[in-house]
Structure 1
Amino acid sequence: MNSLPISVVIAGGGTAGHIEPALAVGEALRDRHGARLTALGTSRGLERDIIPGRGVDLRLITPVPVPRKLNGDLLKLPFNVAKSFRQTRQVLKDVDADVVFGTGGYVAAPAYLAAKSLGVPFYVLETNALAGMANKLGVRLGGIGLNAHADSGMPGEVVGIPVRPGLATDPDGSVAAAAWKKWNLRDDMKTILVTGGSQGAVSINSALAGAVENLSKDYQILHAYGKKNQAPAAHENYVPLPYIEDMAGALAVADLVVCRSGAMTVAEVSAAGLPAIYVPLPFGNGEQAFNSRELVEAGAAVHIPDAELSAERLIDQVRSILGDPQRLAAMQEAVARASAGDVAYTLADRIASSVTRAGREVKQEHDKSRKPGRGSKTAGTEEKGN
């Protein structure tokens, strides 16, 4: 392994679905390989709430959202890209980046462009079933493509989705015990975890509002309703929270999850071995429905279209799963078979091994003969040409 710390820049911003897989691999690189970790972010994304709390250096750049319609924002796009590119390039120079790991979102395209311009090797991970524009651009620029799903529309090896190390493990039951105590939950009652993602989901919240009185008679409910949404009314055996920071604890106490099917959500729920009722977001390019398709086909989950979600449908599905021990056990077995391996550490090892000591020493000697800040990085032979 390298004698000098590896300097890794992660680029996944805007939503938890982009931030969490980038952090998962970054933290694995830091924990296992002593990497120096820097994250790119913007003032409008969730990274300002999530990343500093995980002990990672956050550098803010200008966001570069790509408008889906012809409007004023589209006319500003070239100027925003140029500004963000210059800012990102400076960050890579400041931290003497050896490698960039991107997962899409507002910060990904500038990161790929800056890495390409400086000769820094970069990896592009697409966690959704259908690839986004920024990641497709990254691979076209020469990034090493990696996919969570086959047939995403982006070239690259299928590796699965990296989940934060230790998120879904509780070998001695201590994580669950702490969560029961923290949220005043009973350890002898089945728990339904309901979440609409980091921002909450109005349709899920609405359906649960009509179902909570019925379901809370037999089950306890832990509900993340979203910071921007109105707090729900109180009920017995019902714990509403604007945001669940301790997701490891929530997954440890849950028996069933009701949630959107964003790529990261599906990965975390699956890693925890939990059956789920997925309600895909009805917007975008339809990737959320694809994210959970394999689990539904395997019998590990149920899919309810957003337009068909109602209190009655939710009650029926929850009770048909939790009220039938045989079905619940079959779904648990199915999700266990479908769960991926330790993707975060596998990718971390791969990235670390690609930054060879020889390559770093060549780079350092090369920098001496060039202007400050214009050095390039050399990837190991294992990754070259991919």
Structure 2
Amino acid sequence: MPRRLVTLVSAIVLVDTMFYAVVAPLLPALTDDLHLSKAAAGLLAGAYPAGTLLGSLPSGLLASRTGPRATVLVGLTLLAGSTLVFGFAHDIVLLDLARFVQGLGGACSWAGGLAWLVASAPAERRGELIGTALGWAIGGALFGPVLGALADATAPEVVFSSVVVFAGGLVAWALTMPEAAPVARQGLADVRVALARSDVRIAMWLVTLPALAFGVLGVLGPLRLDHFGFSSAAVAGTYLVAAGVEALVSPFVGRLSDRHGRLAPIRRGLAVAAGLLLLVTVPASGVVLALLLVLLAASFGLFWAPAMALLTDVADATGLALGFAFALVNLAWAAGQVVGSGLGGEAAKLTGDGVPLAVVAAACGVTLAALGRGAVVREVAAAG
């Protein structure tokens, strides 16, 4: 496999997640400046994954019809334009729309980029390569809050304009790379065939669940830290450390899942996360809460590479093209993020923060119990 392609795809997902994660330290300031409720803050946080949700299957169709490279170019163009608007907007509707279009661009970048990468790799290295790309993506999540804090402290217009430079450089680089080998054209009927299989649905749920958790924590975490007096820089620092832990975990866990099966690290992550989620409302100190958020990032970090690799494994078993396989990854991730952001915003407003956190903890516990059933394990393992 060309090292240049691994580096290019890693850089694409890094830039995408960097501008996805930029909103976390800005959320308290935007909430104050625009007088947002928790529900409105949750809507802003959820606008990006909503765009990814609606763009997931169209991005897979685009990758199937035009190829992964063209899909990546569309994604980078949408990302650049929408992030520029976000930097200059001072109206919540425009901010929501800009984040939504960012999500559409992210759907194209991920479906095209990862399909391009995995199509060039042997199946036995799939988890490792997805983990490597995820490590870079999480590196973007490391720098995103830093950019957000910098934008809050200086001029958002200048900081967000930098995306045009990043995206333009990646477009030029992508144009120098050869396109992936052509595959048979597929359509939404092929996706319906894949979704009829229970192993595909199980794998999708294992991508959805950590996204659901991060959607809840992405809203409640910054607001609870703000309640304890954390500045935008301190919130950014918390998420910086959390993303750093995830970035270290993902490549290692991806290799582990190639050698010992996809479900082993997922089970461990479920067990730890279920307990930690119930403790988020307990700390009377912002420092303790920040530590809990970092530990939660590590536990859910055990999911990403194995769950995504598993989903592509079981999609392969149906003959589904890789562009559509990663479209299902996008669909599963975005559904979890959208529901999680709404749960963290609206449900917390109505019931308090503990209820949505308990719901996600219960989902982890039920999933762990289901994965302990022999029939489920055999079905997923056989497809993978």
TM-score by length of 2: 0.28
Point out which structure has higher relative CO (alpha carbons under 8 A, 6+ apart): 2
| More helix per residue | 2
- TM-score in terms of structure 1 length: 0.28
Q: If each structure's strand is expressed as a fraction of its own residues, which one has the higher value?
A: 1
Say which one has the larger Rg: 1
